[in-house]
Structure 1
Amino acid sequence: MNIPQLLLTSSGCGLIAFLITFAIMPTLIKRLKKADIVGRDIHKLTKPEVAEMGGIGILFGFAISIMVGVYLYPSWQSQLTITLIVILLTGIIGIVDDLIILSSKEKLILLWIAGLPIMWVTPPNMSIFYMLSIPIAVSIASNLTNMLAGLNGIETGLGVIALTSLTLSCIIMNKYDVAIISFSMLGALLAFLFYNKYPANVFPGDVGTLIIGACIAIIAFIGRVKIIAFIVLIPNIIDGLLKFRSAGVMERHKFKPTQVKENGVLVAPPGGFNSLIRSILKKPMKEAEVVHIIWIIGLIFGIIGILVAFFAKGVII
């Protein structure tokens, strides 16, 4: 296929992921509520019940899209199949974490195991250190996109921004095999954001947040765009460093959540851990305003990632 055909079909995979995720979400939301798989939206005065584990819809749309990609591009079957395996394993870990709450240590180990298959599709003659760093990166990236969460649309929106940057970067650098992966996750996330944006009708759960980071790590290593992937994850990295510095390896449910006042604005509770969200909440703000500020931060780094791709075209980064 020539480049226009590659671009058309890879973007078509993204469209498939979007349509499937968008179509199944209403039914999935109803079924999750009926099964009492819900969570309280603690940043609203009324604390409404919202369907949890909606990331299953993202996972389903992404999986179907990648299977279509495998059919359309037999020569890229290995990369796409391994990607699907890793994302499905990560999603299963997310489902288990949503249901029984894994410890930070358990989650890190399981995600490291989930990332092992990527070692099979890396460039030849790589060192053992490089090979072992791949599943470590999957584990870390997944946890980073899982940590910067809690406000309506914040995780999904940042994921959309990061995957848009990576998709455009892959196109600029003629990496159309990984563009299928980024297009597919981007399409599923865009569809999910329609239901997850403020005021949210569904939460992604760990099944949704973990697979975003895993997908970014996969694109980084298979597409050899590690620097760009690092750049788009900088908001999550800053958030993770702030939390680690203030509270160590913490279990978030053990700390006081961000508080909502009678006028509907959010305030950071006294004491406790620091984070990117709480750094922004130096003064009371509405939930949507905080989310938009963090999206803007993500957008800045997303644009930087695209610029790096443009100026580094033809260079392995």
Structure 2
Amino acid sequence: MKKLGKVGVDIHKLDKPLIPEMCGLAILISIATSSLILSFLNILNKKILFSFILTIVFTGLTGVIDDLKPLNPKLKPAFTALASLPIILLQAYDPHPYLPFIGKVRLTILYPFLIPFGISVPANAVNMMDVFNGVMPGTCCLISFTALIALLILGRWNEAILPAILLGSLIAFYLYNRFPAKVFSGDVGSLTVGATIGAIAILTKIEAIMVVALMPHIMNAFYGLSSIGRLYERREITSRPIKLLENGKLTANLDNNAPITLSRLILLQEPLTEKEVFKAIMFLTLISSILAILTLFLVEIKI
């Protein structure tokens, strides 16, 4: 990607190194290829598998377009929502989700209208969290592992292959994206990963569990959108939420025009290194992942 001129500045480093971008294409190709191979093994329902592949590919293409020519902040969530159409049109979903304390609910008419949000929200939430070295693949490794464990507990070994595919792709990518990052995922990577998590939640009927596991990402997106008051792109923000100090540490930007983000809240108490911020976000995701598994036992049914 560096040879093609697709590089980004690592703004949280004093020397501002140029890092190859759009390397998340490797994640997209890995998930799509593994899923296609899986289709020849007759392990999973073809309808589920092909809707999964098409949703991931369409979301990944949205990321490619956004990396090459930035999309309007309203178009990106709209396109990622449209990527859910294969799931809806192929009717690869069950409109009877299970909720903690409530159990099985009947949403026959409403559920198809919720599916676009089930893809767009995690896709864009993961995208908005991808601001520090290793955070996107690191946190999403925990979330995909949570999905894997949940499905194994439920005895649904075949469906557990989907989060296993995502987990394998993320572990491989993390080795290159961890501090100090050698590659950036770009929107193609973060949108693909978020949409994959959403698709797994819908297709394997673990929606409530994945919502809990994704809570740090969802809250980060909510803080940012509510503080700015509209959909926005990171490129549009003139006052960034984080400032880089001369000693290389990061601190919260106290400017009222800066968006509120999870990392800004973490840094309000004291300046931290990028590695320390990474560990804090990973810890929060670990807690939410543990709570997600506990949520599984609150759903008093066999999903």
Match of 1:123 in 2: 94
Match of 1:267 in 2: 251
User: How many Å separate the matches in 2 of 1:72 and 1:163?
Assistant: 22
Q: Structure 1 regions of 5+ residues with no counterpart?
A: 1-31
Asked whether 1:298 is paired with 2:269, we answer no
Change (3 A) 1:296 1:124: closer
Asked whether 1:252 is paired with 2:234, we answer yes
Matches within 5 A, 1:37-186: 37-73=6-42, 76-119=45-88, 120-123=91-94, 127-186=108-167
Displacement after TM superposition at 1:137 (Å): 1.6
- Can you list the C-alpha shifts for 1:14-36, whole angstroms capped at 9, x where unaligned? xxxxxxxxxxxxxxxxxx11111
Contact between 1:118 and 1:135, CA under 8 Å: does it hold in 2? no
User: How many Å separate the matches in 2 of 1:230 and 1:124?
Assistant: 17
Displacement after TM superposition at 1:89 (Å): 0.5
One-letter amino acid matched to 2:94? P
Contact between 2:94 and 2:205, CA under 8 Å: does it hold in 1? no
One-letter amino acid matched to 2:249? V
Task: Find the partner of 1:211 among 192, 197, 204.
Answer: 192
User: How many Å separate the matches in 2 of 1:38 and 1:275?
Assistant: 25
User: TM-score with structure 2 length normalisation?
Assistant: 0.90
Change (3 A) 1:239 1:152: same
Which shows bigger deviation, 86-95 or 109-118?
109-118
Report the secondary structure of 1:33's partner residue: coil
One-letter amino acid matched to 2:266? I
Q: Structure 2 regions of 5+ residues with no counterpart?
A: 97-106
Which shows bigger deviation, 185-194 or 256-265?
256-265
Displacement after TM superposition at 1:312 (Å): 3.8
Displacement after TM superposition at 1:234 (Å): 0.3
One-letter amino acid matched to 1:162? I
Displacement after TM superposition at 1:176 (Å): 2.8
Root-mean-square deviation over aligned CA pairs: 1.6
User: TM-score with structure 1 length normalisation?
Assistant: 0.86
- Can you list the C-alpha shifts for 1:241-267, whole angstroms capped at 9, x where unaligned? 211221122222222332211211011
One-letter amino acid matched to 2:39? V
Displacement after TM superposition at 1:74 (Å): 5.5
Alignment length, in residue pairs?
285
Change (3 A) 1:262 1:124: closer
Which shows bigger deviation, 257-266 or 81-90?
257-266
Displacement after TM superposition at 1:202 (Å): 0.3
One-letter amino acid matched to 2:141? V
One-letter amino acid matched to 1:295? M
Displacement after TM superposition at 1:123 (Å): 2.8
Change (3 A) 1:186 1:132: same
Report the secondary structure of 1:50's partner residue: strand
Contact between 1:173 and 1:310, CA under 8 Å: does it hold in 2? no
Displacement after TM superposition at 1:75 (Å): 5.1
Contact between 1:76 and 1:177, CA under 8 Å: does it hold in 2? no
Contact between 1:172 and 1:310, CA under 8 Å: does it hold in 2? no
Which shows bigger deviation, 43-52 or 216-225?
216-225
Match of 1:8 in 2: none
Change (3 A) 1:177 1:116: farther
Asked whether 1:289 is paired with 2:276, we answer yes
Asked whether 1:221 is paired with 2:208, we answer no
Percent identity over the alignment is 35
User: How many Å separate the matches in 1 of 2:226 and 2:31?
Assistant: 35
Q: Which has the higher helix share?
A: 1
User: How many Å separate the matches in 2 of 1:213 and 1:118?
Assistant: 16
Report the secondary structure of 2:159's partner residue: helix
Displacement after TM superposition at 1:132 (Å): 1.4
- Can you list the C-alpha shifts for 1:138-179, whole angstroms capped at 9, x where unaligned? 111111111112110111111101101011101111223431
Displacement after TM superposition at 1:136 (Å): 2.0
Report the secondary structure of 2:170's partner residue: helix
